[in-house]
Amino acid sequence: RKRLGDIVFNDKAKRKKLTSIVNPEIAKVLGMAFVGHFIRGTPVLVLDVPLLFETGINQFCTEVMTVHLDESTQLKRLMARDNAGEADAKARITSQPYPMEKKLGLSTYPVDNSGTPEELDGKLDALIGRIKRRTWGNVL
């Protein structure tokens, strides 16, 4: 993962080539999963898709949560997670096709992730519970 990231997050042409190969396959697999869950009557399906808007998968969702945090915290967490330098982490963040503000504007529910993992889990559990309580049909 790190080696691939080092390549594609520093070379726009290679990143574009990778997404042209990977994104259609992701959409195909998710599409089949959507149909299966719909047929089984799954009331709420929660997806964790890092490039939800960029791949267009959001078009198949009735509700969208976007987990976000401030840029400095995002940078620190990314550097710690990937054991990366600041320049590499910034390159990875700025290489994202959609800025966070745009994603938040397209989201039904923005969810702040500036706290602890336990706090985020609590927020997500509460939000998913609220959605489940008011859902009477299939929701993606």
Q: What is the mean pLDDT of residues 81-106?
A: 89
Residue 38 CA, distance from chain mean position: 21
pLDDT of amino acid 98: 86
119-129 per-residue burial string, b: 16 or more CB within 10 A, e: under 16: ebeebbeebee
pLDDT tens-digit readout, 7-26: 777 788 888 898 888 888 88
Q: What is the pLDDT of residue 136?
A: 61
Q: Give the domain ranges of the chain.
A: 2-133
Query: In which residue are the tokens 């929701």 written?
Result: 139
Once rounded to an integer, what is the mean pLDDT over residues 72-84? 94
Give CA–CA dist 128/33, Å, rounded.
Answer: 20
Q: Model-level pTM?
A: 0.76
Spatial contact of 100 and 108, defined as CB atoms under 8 Å apart: no
CATH 3.40.50.300 fits 2-133, yes or no: yes
For the cut 70, the answer to whether the pLDDT of residue 66 exceeds it is yes
Nearest Cα to 100, choosing from 45, 54, 47, 58?
54
pLDDT number for residue 31:
85
Question: What proportion of the chain, given as a percentage, has pLDDT over 70?
Answer: 95
Region for 56 from its dihedrals, namely left if φ exceeds 0, alpha if ψ lies in -120 to 50, beta otherwise:
left
Asked whether 65 and 49 are in contact (CB, 8 A), the reply is no
Length of the chain: 140
Radius of gyration over every alpha carbon of the chain, rounded to an integer in angstroms: 17
